[in-house]
């Protein structure tokens, strides 16, 4: 920008104030046609945000869903929003030793073998810089985001293999932060999660089990602190806006359908290409 143009803009801002950008998003979805009818889906972290949006989408497409969270009040509210196809269990994904029991309970509650897992539960302490990371914060995020998700995926694969159905579908919700170097626990857990999805995915596809990940950009949720009914403008990303949980849910839905049978061991980023640019 030329100096003359820059000075004119500064003068304009002084006189009229800095312009406020406002962005909204229209949620576009394919008309429901029960592509997931007969499916039984377990969704961790399903009481709010992306997990809740995924649960709603699965139920709309005909699936029976069971959502988990540590907060029973939020789970109850979520089930009312999802409708009659939803049930819930109060569960902490850090309770690794009890994952086998979780799958048995889910099977009993949904009335048959669980065929799909959405491993979504996660936490971020938003330290901002490695200098503010504590051991307690490290453990909390590693145990939830990485250890919990890793061992739940491992247990679900064993569950499907034992059933001998040769069919299972797993989607891990990671983050576009997992596509770059990082210095705080949240980002590091996503880097590692993307890695294990790729690594395990190629080892289980022969058994009819598909493992993929969806890596959202900054999405409105309790985790990020952004609300979907507010201004979605965000200057530092290519599309200049935040994302909505429903947009991520549409991608997850595609991965759950047999229309995506050729996709396994992949990380699908939902950030309009932000991860490709400079950070």
DSSP states along 32-50: P--TTTT-EEEEET-SSHH
Q: Select 25-276's CATH number: 3.40.50.1390, 3.40.50.720, 3.20.20.70, 3.40.50.300.
A: 3.40.50.720
Q: Is the pLDDT of residue 221 over 80?
A: no
| pLDDT at 229 exceeding the cut of 80 | no
Whether 4 has a pLDDT exceeding 70, the answer reads no
Q: Return the higher-pLDDT residue of 103 and 276.
A: 103
Q: What's the burial of 167, exposed, middle or buried (CB within 10 Å: 0-12/13-18/19+)?
A: middle
Per-residue model confidence as pLDDT tens digits over 56-88: 999 999 999 999 999 999 999 999 999 999 999
Q: Using 50, 70 and 90 to split pLDDT, how confident is the model at 25?
A: low
pLDDT at 6: 46
Q: What is the pLDDT of residue 238?
A: 72
- What is the value of pTM for the model shown? 0.85
Which range has the worst mean pLDDT, 126-135, 177-186, 212-221, 258-267?
Answer: 212-221
pLDDT value, residue 2: 43
pLDDT (average), residues 175-180: 85
Q: What is the pLDDT of residues 88-114, one digit of tens each?
A: 999 999 999 999 999 999 999 999 999
- What tokens appear for 145 in the block? 């985001």
Q: What is the DSSP letter of 70?
A: S
Domain ranges of the chain: 25-276
CA torsion sign for 193, 195, 196, 200 is positive
Q: Residue range 216-225: average pLDDT?
A: 72
């Amino acid at each position: 920008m030329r100096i003359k143009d820059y000075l004119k803009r500064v003068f304009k801002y002084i006189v009229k104030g800095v312009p406020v950008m406002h962005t909204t998003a229209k949620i576009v979805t394919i008309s429901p046609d029960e592509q997931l009818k007969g499916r039984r889906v377990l969704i961790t972290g399903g009481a709010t945000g992306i997990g809740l949006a995924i649960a709603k989408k699965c139920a709309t497409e005909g699936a029976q869903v069971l959502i988990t969270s540590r907060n029973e009040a939020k789970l109850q509210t979520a089930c009312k929003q999802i409708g009659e196809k939803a049930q819930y269990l109060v569960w902490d994904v850090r309770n690794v030793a009890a994952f086998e029991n979780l799958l048995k309970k889910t099977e009993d509650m949904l009335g048959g073998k669980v065929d799909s897992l959405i491993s979504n539960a996660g936490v971020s302490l938003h330290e901002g810089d490695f200098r503010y990371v504590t051991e307690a914060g490290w453990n909390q995020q590693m145990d939830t985001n990485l250890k919990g998700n890793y061992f739940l995926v491992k247990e679900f694969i064993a569950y499907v293999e034992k059933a001998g159905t040769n069919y299972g579908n797993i989607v891990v919700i990671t983050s576009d932060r997992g596509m770059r170097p990082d210095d705080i626990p949240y980002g590091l857990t996503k880097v590692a999660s993307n890695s294990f999805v790729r690594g395990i995915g190629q080892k289980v596809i022969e058994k009819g089990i598909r493992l993929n990940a969806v890596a959202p950009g900054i999405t409105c949720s309790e985790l990020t602190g952004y609300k979907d009914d507010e201004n979605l403008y965000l200057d530092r990303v290519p599309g200049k806006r935040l994302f909505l949980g429903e947009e991520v849910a549409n991608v997850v839905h595609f991965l759950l359908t047999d229309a995506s049978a050729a996709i396994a061991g992949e990380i699908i980023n939902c950030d309009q290409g932000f991860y490709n640019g400079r950070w």
